[in-house]
Amino acid sequence: MNRSVNIPTTQTSAMLDRTYQRLTNRGKIYGVLLFILGLPIHIITILLYYFRKSQNQYGDVYNKYEQEFVANGQLDIWRQLFLEQEQTKASFFNESLTADQLNKNVDLLVQGKLQKEVEKRVEAAGLEKDTYHHYFKRLLKSRNFLIISAIPGILMYALLLLYSNPFVQFIFERVLQTLFVILGVATLVFTILYISPLDPARNILGIEATPEQIENFNRLYGLDQPYLAQLWHSLSGLFTFDLGTSFAGKEDIIASIANKFPVTLNIAILSLLMAIIIAIPVGIISAIRPNSFMDYTFMIVALIGLSIPSFWQGLIFILTFSLELNWFPATYNPQNWLSLVLPVVVLGTSLCASIARMTRSSMLEVINEDYIITAKAKGLNERKVISKHAIRNAMIPIITVIGLLFGGMLGGASVTEKVFNISGIGSYIVDKQFIPDIPAILGGVVYIAITISIVNLIIDITYAFFDPRIRSKMKKEG
């Protein structure tokens, strides 16, 4: 990136100029941001600008054209027109305006019109309005200026380069948004726990604890500090992976989370795979033969799957498959892969049902599109139409939904983990909430939210590369 700035060609400078123009048009915030990032350059160029200002001709030409209009008597014609317009308007709305008010309105309109017309003329004469903004843009176009200012303005150029390509811009903005969300989540969860009326010190030390003991406890864990200090401490702890020790048990929080997180993730990913393998073919079959017996059966089963409370499903599974039939163990054991089967099925059920329903509706929408009819009309057999044209287009919303549902599944894992006695992150949070063990809950919730945000970020970015519709939309907007 730096090299392309250091060896500017006319192309890069044109590109920079274009991006600069686009960004400043997008809103004030971008203008301010560019100004701050390029502050070292601006200090010098502002001086240069005021030094040269005396030599510009814009003001003279402007005055000349203005005089011309006044001399032509154009003003009176306009005045007449606007007066008529204002009178009609007043009579239509039944407003009674005094002559004074009327004149004032007309004057304003005439002045506005004059300014517009003159500016149009001046522009036609090839002169740009000489503001600092225009001056700086002219400078950006020159190659020598770029070479000189490359080092001091590196931050500003970096931003311009990021925004010069719609893809890079999209990824950059999406990453920024994710960072904002992650910070927001951490702050929100911390704030909720901070304003809690519950007192961890009392819960751990017991009712008989003396005030000194409680004070000591609070000082030890920094609970006596003001809100902002605690927030800063927690945020920096979260992002440096050092949350200290838990209130009860004195274990290292990050170490326990690192132990438990893979267990949850493992089960969640297996459930996701199971759901995708079952649900997508089911959804496609339902959509190809809508309102058939098979479709009804699948969709009713899917709706039942969506309506079953996962903990109850877990209990029933344990009852039938563990206690009665003795096929699978009732509780989770990392050494025995058979013990994974029940939790994976239970966790994946509702996800599977949602994906099947989503696949069906998305496929139905696609199947009625014109291009599918075209494909059929040109003689492709149905299998090819479905596999080549329909599924590929129907998959786009499905993958987004899978990304979103994956998050819900990680959250819902806490219930399943409790039923099957799995020591994952979900049951860890539930166990810690009774105290409440603030750093442990904060860590658990925020790390799950971060995982979800990153998964969704990756899905979004992958789309930008694969979906031509999103690509063309980005180009248009940029």
Partner 1 sequence: MKVISNLKLLLKITQEYGNAHFTLSFSAIFSLLFLLYSFNFSTQSIRPIVLVFFIIYLLTTLYVWFISKSIKKDLANEREIQNRTRILGYPLILTVLAGNVFASSYGISLVSKNKTPEYTFAAYALLTQLFIIGISGFNLFKPYVIDTYLLAIGTFIVLAVIFALMLVLVAKYVTATSAPKWMLPVGIIILIPVLSGNLFSLLLGVGLIKKARQKDASSIEKWQKMWSKILRNSMAVFGMFFIIFMFSLSVVSPWTFDYDFATQNNYSAILQTPTLEYPLGTDDFGRDLFSRIVFGAQISLIVGFFSTIIPAVIGGSLGAISGYYGKKTDNIIMRLLDILYAIPGILLAIAIIAAFGANTVNLIIALSVGSIPTYARTMRATVMQISNYEFVESARALGASDSSIIFRHIVPNSLAPMIVKATLTIGGAVISTSSLSFLGLGVEPHIPEWGNILKIGSTYLETHSYLAIFPGLCIMLLVLSFNFFGDGLRDAFDPKTN
Residue 109 CA to residue 116 CA, distance in Å, equals 11
In the complex, least distance from residue 70 CB atom to partner 1, rounded to whole angstroms: 36
Interface with partner 1, residue 180, by CB under 8 A: yes
Binding mask 356-385 for partner 1 (x = CB under 8 A): ---------x--------------------
Nearer to partner 1, 12 or 354 (CB): 354
Interface with partner 1, residue 279, by CB under 8 A: no
Nearer to partner 1, 35 or 311 (CB): 311
CA dihedral 323, 329, 332, 333 (to 10 degrees): 150
Q: How many CB atoms lie within 10 A of CB 272?
A: 20
In the complex, least distance from residue 346 CB atom to partner 1, rounded to whole angstroms: 12
Nearer to partner 1, 182 or 279 (CB): 182
Contact 254, 443 (CB under 8 A): yes
Interface with partner 1, residue 192, by CB under 8 A: yes
Which of 84-92, 112-120, 246-254, 427-435 is the region at the interface with partner 1 (rule: CB under 8 A)? 427-435
- Selected from 182, 272, 366, 395, the binder of partner 1 by CB under 8 A is 182
Which of 80-88, 95-103, 306-314, 379-387 is the region at the interface with partner 1 (rule: CB under 8 A)? 306-314
CA dihedral 98, 102, 107, 112 (to 10 degrees): 140
* Helix, strand or coil, per DSSP, at residue 396: helix
Query: How many residues form the binding site for partner 1 (CB under 8 A)?
Result: 53
* Helix, strand or coil, per DSSP, at residue 245: strand
* Helix, strand or coil, per DSSP, at residue 369: coil
Nearer to partner 1, 149 or 354 (CB): 354
In the complex, least distance from residue 239 CB atom to partner 1, rounded to whole angstroms: 16
In the complex, least distance from residue 388 CB atom to partner 1, rounded to whole angstroms: 25
Structure tokens at 440: 């442990």
Side-chain-facing half-sphere of 357: CA atoms under 13 Å? 16
In the complex, least distance from residue 50 CB atom to partner 1, rounded to whole angstroms: 33
Angstrom distances, CA of residue 196 to CA of 158, 333, 449: 44, 36, 21
- List the one residue out of 18, 47, 10 whose CA is nearest residue 144: 10
378 DSSP assignment: T
Q: What are phi and psi of 456, to 5 degrees?
A: -65, -35
End-to-end CA distance of the chain: give it in Å, rounded.
20
- Selected from 150, 235, 301, 308, the binder of partner 1 by CB under 8 A is 308
Nearer to partner 1, 43 or 319 (CB): 319
Q: How many CB atoms lie within 10 A of CB 76?
A: 11
Question: For residue 245, what are the β-bridge partners?
Answer: 252
The single-letter code of the amino acid at 453 is S
Nearer to partner 1, 127 or 301 (CB): 301
Nearer to partner 1, 28 or 383 (CB): 28
- Selected from 407, 463, 467, 474, the binder of partner 1 by CB under 8 A is 407
Binding mask 196-235 for partner 1 (x = CB under 8 A): xxx-------------------------------------
Interface with partner 1, residue 125, by CB under 8 A: no
Binding mask 138-177 for partner 1 (x = CB under 8 A): ---------------------------------------x
The DSSP element (H or E) to which 189 belongs, if any, is helix 166-194
Interface with partner 1, residue 272, by CB under 8 A: no
- Selected from 107, 408, 458, 465, the binder of partner 1 by CB under 8 A is 408
- List the one residue out of 367, 319, 324 whose CA is nearest residue 346: 319
Contact 440, 253 (CB under 8 A): yes
Interface with partner 1, residue 445, by CB under 8 A: yes
The single-letter code of the amino acid at 380 is L
Angstrom distances, CA of residue 143 to CA of 12, 137, 149, 170, 337: 9, 12, 10, 28, 66
Interface with partner 1, residue 411, by CB under 8 A: yes
Nearer to partner 1, 41 or 352 (CB): 352
Contacts with partner 1, residue ranges (CB under 8 A): 177, 180-182, 184-185, 188-189, 192-193, 195-198, 300, 303-304, 306-312, 315-316, 318-319, 323, 365, 407-408, 410-412, 414-415, 418-419, 426, 429-430, 432-434, 436, 441, 444-445, 448-449, 452-453
